[in-house]
């Protein structure tokens, strides 16, 4: 024994910030991705898959929290000393792909992609280091119809997932308007750092309200935990017009026009949104699906025009016990400079990214507790090891009839096998004991009907006492009888 | 200009060994994965997704080419100095998952998983650093029915993908028989390195024949390129019985029994295969789908019992111009020690892994050159930018009728728009010019009928000259008319 203990045994555990996904989640996600794919295909987007690893310099580093040094990207040196990085989103690899294959592509290039991305961040509640995104982008056009289409597609995709109008909102704004407001407020446009601090303050309007945003635009703000967030240090005369804009009514373009004052950039931004509004109207999308919202900012530095997000608006209870809107599940916008970085020519582009696992969490938060399901396979028990081939033939017959089925493959007795079937959420258990075999019969137990009794079964004897959820049929009628029970469960 | 040139511009390129997958491949893969999932679900396997990154020590390093140092795994240190690694297969993460959640799992635990894996290897022809696997494993049972089932499922999965009997073979062997043959040949069982060299020599029987294998069992072998592979340095008297076994007829269990001589391990191995043969027979799987083959070895060190592979047997021409069998697309076997490494208790297990991209390559090698397809979206042209909203309304109407459609979003003229539609493989192009608008009509061009003419179109005038593949319909009949043309293309 002492010798045994000296064997090095690594601990079986996942690093923090990473997750395993069990069957129910994987199936739900597969179903959701299939619906999203179908919708995106309907809009003419083509699938693309790029690799998980890229050269770090080709990806660049365009992260929401770029201001935190040493964080963001998982990277390491290849054998030839070049730096490789795990993609942190699906946009940077798209820019690389477009720049690399520019001449061969049909332009505008419309593609969708789904897959995991990785962030080398300190993990925390709701903050993971691996998560799945679903992106659609149109590259190579300055047309605002491309941006408008992404917003409409996002709304339709959410409806295709079963959400009703009023349970979600696609919210649209324009970075040029924000720039115009800041210009009019006298904020130096060259000070990109302060610019970003201001945008992030506005982004928190939903959560912190006017007072909180005002603090973050000024000296700074102490949150409930006592942490101090340094502010943008604007003067009160600068803060006022910004707040005026942020609190303007949704879609009140006249008020927005006043807020940008004489700024040409700002006025261009308002005109762009008016153009998008006309497209939404022509396509039948009203304020019950798409809204213009001054507080939408999106954290990414590279956005240059329209920005948008999709949010679930129904209430959920957060970890602090507060009732809040579920919030953003997708975001995007126009980024005209990203391909230029690699290609050297102007390649205007716009895109949207759905947070797949977050959207899935939103959908399950919305749906009432699901009733107990028996969505596992039919389980064929094996009471005598010598009869394995017979059980095997039964499962094959069931599978040939497109019925999900498996034979119990362990070495335990009847009781443990019944527990196994329960745990597997089997709808039906098939039993061929000695008696049944002599009569050429099999016994079927309907677990959806009789699941509560199964834990109490002690012996094959007791089992054979007539139970309502149990039936014996000729072995030749196995498939038919199982199909009947499954059909009963579906009613 | 000189200033422009000083801007650092990273090259847009992928690291060697990595690939981008275009739309047609992604769609074909999605279809294939859906069929595989359906088949695996039918067999009672549950989906699982584990993360791409794991602690390196929890994964261990069980690679086919473990003997090459510094190669194999992409790994790097986390902020807390612990080593993280990208998974190099889906089996090691499964072992970690089972060890971590052992008590909560219904055992035997049957799961399938698909996703990319990464190998830090020198890339070369056909050797990639990222590829997709599709695995199924049954963990927690020593029953050979579990192994037999994986072989049957592999055969059925290949049939579900459209392969006919005779175009594929699932080949089965047993590591215990190989061990028995070596024991009888007097090879020291403790010399695991030599053991592995011998197994890899046998594995090359298909490709090198008896003479090549004999060289690799002896001093070594020089290949066509002049590279020397060191052999296992066995004596001729040791080589002979091994060759005798490898060249024995498929499924000749009597000959195999002779080859293992008095080795208890070897005899147990033959008995196991006989047990599997009985299960195959009971389930209706004959030698047209599953064969017992002495040359099947599988490169992995951790296999402890039955090993199996699925191969495509139809001929293809390789890069050297030789006609060869397409070869292996899946492999697996019993690995009873992998979970024990982490958990400390015996957890017998067996699994199979399909090389998804390789299987997809096999299927397209088999299928004749596909005819030109028009599987893109319907493209609605935009001849006047002022009419964007009108075109937008048309695409939305088409999409609402479940017809894949998009509006041209670029800024080019008619000719470029037609080229774009060609490149997108659009089945139908919708045109609403000034004249059409005046009449309340739209013009539809059937590209499947008239694609050859499109490159010659010079002007809107020429376009309007009657062409057989072109029709004008009232705008209110747009959806109906497009649907008619699409239905025509499907006949």
Q: Which residue of B has its CA nearest to A421?
A: B106
Q: Kindly list the residues from chain A whose CB atom is less than 8 angstroms away from the CB atom of residue B108.
A: 408-410
How confident is the model at residue B70, as a pLDDT? 47
How confident is the model at residue B225, as a pLDDT? 83
Query: Would you call A404 and B42 a contact, using CB atoms and an 8 Å cutoff?
Result: yes
**Which of B72, B308, B298 shows the shortest CA–CA distance to B200?**
B298
Query: Would you call A52 and B12 a contact, using CB atoms and an 8 Å cutoff?
Result: no
Domain chopping of chain A, boundaries? 23-366, 378-490
Distance CA(B23)–CA(A39), nearest Å, equals 16
Name the minimum distance, in Å, from the CA of A9 to any CA of chain B.
6
Q: Kindly list the residues from chain B whose CB atom is less than 8 angstroms away from the CB atom of residue A389.
A: 278-279, 281-283
Interface probe with B: pick from A3, A14, A137, A154, most Cβ of B within 10 Å: A14
CB neighbours of residue B141 within 10 Å: 21
Least CB-CB distance to A145: which of B11, B140, B392?
Answer: B392
Instruction: Enter the DSSP assignment of A164.
Output: P
Query: Which DSSP helix (H) or strand (E) runs through B153?
Result: helix B144-160
Query: Would you call A44 and B148 a contact, using CB atoms and an 8 Å cutoff?
Result: no
Query: Would you call B282 and A49 a contact, using CB atoms and an 8 Å cutoff?
Result: no
Token pair belonging to A158: 């959410």
Interface probe with A: pick from B87, B409, B427, most Cβ of A within 10 Å: B409
Name the minimum distance, in Å, from the CA of A423 to any CA of chain B.
6
Name the minimum distance, in Å, from the CA of B133 to any CA of chain A.
14
Q: Which residue of B has its CA nearest to A395?
A: B43
Query: Would you call A14 and B420 a contact, using CB atoms and an 8 Å cutoff?
Result: no
Contact B138, B146 (CB under 8 A): yes
pLDDT tens by residue, A281-292 = 989 999 999 999
**Which of A439, A430, A437 shows the shortest CA–CA distance to A471?**
A430
Least CB-CB distance to B343: which of A12, A47, A407?
Answer: A12
**Which of A294, A359, A258, A304 shows the shortest CA–CA distance to A62?**
A304
B389 alpha-carbon distance from chain centroid: 44
Instruction: Enter the DSSP assignment of A301.
Output: T
Q: Kindly list the residues from chain B whose CB atom is less than 8 angstroms away from the CB atom of residue A37.
A: 30
DSSP annotation string for B258-308: HHHTT-HHHHHHHHHHHHHHHHHHHTT--TTTEEE-TT---S-TT--SEEE
Q: Kindly list the residues from chain B whose CB atom is less than 8 angstroms away from the CB atom of residue A103.
A: none
Least CB-CB distance to B58: which of A10, A152, A379?
Answer: A10
Name the minimum distance, in Å, from the CA of A200 to any CA of chain B.
27
B348's CB contacts (< 8 A; 6+ apart) are B139, B140, B141, B142, B334, B336
How confident is the model at residue A68, as a pLDDT? 46
How confident is the model at residue A396, as a pLDDT? 92
Query: Would you call A107 and B20 a contact, using CB atoms and an 8 Å cutoff?
Result: no
Fold type of domain A23-366 = BirA Bifunctional Protein; domain 2 (3.30.930)
A229 alpha-carbon distance from chain centroid: 29
Q: Kindly list the residues from chain A whose CB atom is less than 8 angstroms away from the CB atom of residue B54.
A: 14-15, 18
Contact B232, B220 (CB under 8 A): no
Least CB-CB distance to B51: which of A130, A142, A411?
Answer: A130
Q: Kindly list the residues from chain B whose CB atom is less than 8 angstroms away from the CB atom of residue A58.
A: 10-13
C-alpha R_g of chain B: 29
Query: Would you call B96 and A27 a contact, using CB atoms and an 8 Å cutoff?
Result: no
Q: Kindly list the residues from chain A whose CB atom is less than 8 angstroms away from the CB atom of residue B47.
A: 23, 26-27, 30
Q: Kindly list the residues from chain A whose CB atom is less than 8 angstroms away from the CB atom of residue B9.
A: 341-342, 344
Task: Examine the pLDDT at A69 and tell me if it is beyond 50.
Answer: no
How confident is the model at residue A33, as a pLDDT? 96
Distance CA(B451)–CA(B216), nearest Å, equals 58
Query: Would you call B278 and A389 a contact, using CB atoms and an 8 Å cutoff?
Result: yes
Least CB-CB distance to A12: which of B19, B107, B342?
Answer: B342
- The pTM (predicted TM-score) of the whole model is 0.89
Model ipTM? 0.88
Fold type of domain A378-490 = Rossmann fold (3.40.50)
How confident is the model at residue A149, as a pLDDT? 95
pLDDT tens by residue, A159-168 = 999 999 999 9
Helix axis angle for A447-454 and A414-423, nearest 10°, is 130
Query: Would you call A389 and B54 a contact, using CB atoms and an 8 Å cutoff?
Result: no
Which of A125 and A168 is assigned the larger pLDDT? A168
Query: Would you call B424 and A279 a contact, using CB atoms and an 8 Å cutoff?
Result: no
Q: What is the mean pLDDT of chain A?
A: 89
Query: Would you call A282 and B389 a contact, using CB atoms and an 8 Å cutoff?
Result: yes
Q: Which residue of B has its CA nearest to A33?
A: B30
Q: Kindly list the residues from chain B whose CB atom is less than 8 angstroms away from the CB atom of residue A402.
A: 42
pLDDT tens by residue, A22-55 = 999 999 999 999 999 999 999 999 999 999 999 9
Q: Kindly list the residues from chain A whose CB atom is less than 8 angstroms away from the CB atom of residue B392.
A: 145, 148-149, 279, 282-283
Q: Tell me what the mean pLDDT of segment A417-444 comes to.
A: 93
Contact A451, A412 (CB under 8 A): no
pLDDT band at A72 (very low <50, low <70, confident <90, very high): confident
Q: Say if B23-366 and B378-490 have the same CATH topology.
A: no
pLDDT band at A368 (very low <50, low <70, confident <90, very high): low
Q: Kindly list the residues from chain A whose CB atom is less than 8 angstroms away from the CB atom of residue B16.
A: none
Q: Tell me what the mean pLDDT of segment A446-471 comes to.
A: 64
pLDDT tens by residue, A315-348 = 988 878 888 889 999 999 999 888 998 999 999 9
Interface probe with B: pick from A5, A8, A44, most Cβ of B within 10 Å: A44
Contact A186, A262 (CB under 8 A): no
Name the minimum distance, in Å, from the CA of A48 to any CA of chain B.
5
Task: Examine the pLDDT at A1 and tell me if it is beyond 60.
Answer: no
Q: Which residue of A has its CA nearest to B122?
A: A79
State the 10-residue block means of pLDDT for chain B, 491 residues long. 59 93 93 95 96 92 55 83 92 96 94 96 86 97 95 96 96 94 89 86 87 94 88 92 88 90 95 95 94 86 92 88 90 92 92 96 80 85 88 93 94 92 93 92 89 53 63 95 86 45
**Which of B282, B44, B110 shows the shortest CA–CA distance to A399?**
B44
Token pair belonging to A333: 């916008």
Least CB-CB distance to A20: which of B51, B60, B95?
Answer: B51
A424's CB contacts (< 8 A; 6+ apart) are A376, A377, A379, B44, B106
Query: Would you call A26 and B48 a contact, using CB atoms and an 8 Å cutoff?
Result: yes
Token pair belonging to B258: 């002779």
Task: Examine the pLDDT at A65 and tell me if it is beyond 80.
Answer: no
How confident is the model at residue B144, as a pLDDT? 95
Task: Examine the pLDDT at A8 and tell me if it is beyond 80.
Answer: no
Which of A124 and B372 is assigned the larger pLDDT? A124
A68's CB contacts (< 8 A; 6+ apart) are none
Query: Would you call B51 and A100 a contact, using CB atoms and an 8 Å cutoff?
Result: no
Least CB-CB distance to B110: which of A21, A341, A406?
Answer: A406
Token pair belonging to A344: 């050297």
Task: Examine the pLDDT at A454 and tell me if it is beyond 60.
Answer: no
How confident is the model at residue B424, as a pLDDT? 92
Query: Would you call A74 and B97 a contact, using CB atoms and an 8 Å cutoff?
Result: no
Minimum mean pLDDT among A9-13, A349-353, B329-333, B485-489: which range?
B485-489
Least CB-CB distance to B20: which of A48, A342, A388?
Answer: A48
Q: How many CB contacts within 8 angstroms connect chain A with chain B?
A: 285
Least CB-CB distance to B145: which of A140, A377, A409?
Answer: A409
pLDDT band at A372 (very low <50, low <70, confident <90, very high): low
Interface probe with A: pick from B5, B26, B77, B350, most Cβ of A within 10 Å: B26
Name the minimum distance, in Å, from the CA of B103 to any CA of chain A.
12
A171's CB contacts (< 8 A; 6+ apart) are A290, A291, A292, A293, A296, A308, A309, A310, A311
Least CB-CB distance to B116: which of A52, A279, A389?
Answer: A52
Query: Would you call B53 and A15 a contact, using CB atoms and an 8 Å cutoff?
Result: yes
Distance CA(A129)–CA(A233), nearest Å, equals 32
Which range scores top for mean pLDDT: A215-224, A299-308, B88-97, B482-491? B88-97
Query: Would you call B20 and A97 a contact, using CB atoms and an 8 Å cutoff?
Result: yes
């Amino acid at each position: 024994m002492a010798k045994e203990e000296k064997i090095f045994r690594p601990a079986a555990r996942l690093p923090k910030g990473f997750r395993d996904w069990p069957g129910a989640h994987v199936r739900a996600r597969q179903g959701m991705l299939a619906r999203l794919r179908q919708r995106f295909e309907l809009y003419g987007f083509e699938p693309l898959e790029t690799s998980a690893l890229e050269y770090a310099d080709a990806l660049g580093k365009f992260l929401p929290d770029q201001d935190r040094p040493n964080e963001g990207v998982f990277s390491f040196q290849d054998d030839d000393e070049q730096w490789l990085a795990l993609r942190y989103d699906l946009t940077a690899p798209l820019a690389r792909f477009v720049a690399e294959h520019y001449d061969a592509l049909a332009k505008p290039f419309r593609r969708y992609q789904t897959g995991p991305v990785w962030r080398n961040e300190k993990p925390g509640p709701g903050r993971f280091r691996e998560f799945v995104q679903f992106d659609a982008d149109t590259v190579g056009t300055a047309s605002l119809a491309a941006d408008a289409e992404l917003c409409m597609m996002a709304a339709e995709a959410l409806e295709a997932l079963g959400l009703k109008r009023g349970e979600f909102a696609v919210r649209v704004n324009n970075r040029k308007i924000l720039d115009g407001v800041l210009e009019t407020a006298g904020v130096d446009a060259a000070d990109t750092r302060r610019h970003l601090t201001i945008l992030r303050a506005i982004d928190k309007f939903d959560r912190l309200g006017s007072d909180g945003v005002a603090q973050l635009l000024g000296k700074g703000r102490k949150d409930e935990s006592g942490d101090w967030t340094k502010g943008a240090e604007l003067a009160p005369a600068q803060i006022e017009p910004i707040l005026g804009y942020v609190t303007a009514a949704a879609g009140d373009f006249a008020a927005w026009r006043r807020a940008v004052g004489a700024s040409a950039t700002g006025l261009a931004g308002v005109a762009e949104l008016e153009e998008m509004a006309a497209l939404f109207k022509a396509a039948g999308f009203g304020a019950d699906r798409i809204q213009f919202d001054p507080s939408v900012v999106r954290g990414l530095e590279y956005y240059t025009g329209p920005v948008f997000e999709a949010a679930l608006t129904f209430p959920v209870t957060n970890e602090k016990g507060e009732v809040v809107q579920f919030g953003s599940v997708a975001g995007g916008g126009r980024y005209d400079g990203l391909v230029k970085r690699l290609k050297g020519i102007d390649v205007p582009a716009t895109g949207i990214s759905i947070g797949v696992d977050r959207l899935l969490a939103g959908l399950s938060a919305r749906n009432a507790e699901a009733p107990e399901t028996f969505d596992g396979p039919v389980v064929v028990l094996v009471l005598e090891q010598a009869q394995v081939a017979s059980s095997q033939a039964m499962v094959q017959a069931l599978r040939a009839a497109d019925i999900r089925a498996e034979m119990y493959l362990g070495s335990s007795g009847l009781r443990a096998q019944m527990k196994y079937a329960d745990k597997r959420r089997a709808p039906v258990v098939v039993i061929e004991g000695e008696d049944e075999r002599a009569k050429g019969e099999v016994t079927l137990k309907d677990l959806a009907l009789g699941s509560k009794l199964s834990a109490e079964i002690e012996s094959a004897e007791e089992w054979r006492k007539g139970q309502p959820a149990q039936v014996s049929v000729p072995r030749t009628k196995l498939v038919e009888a199982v199909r009947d029970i499954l059909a009963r469960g579906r009613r």
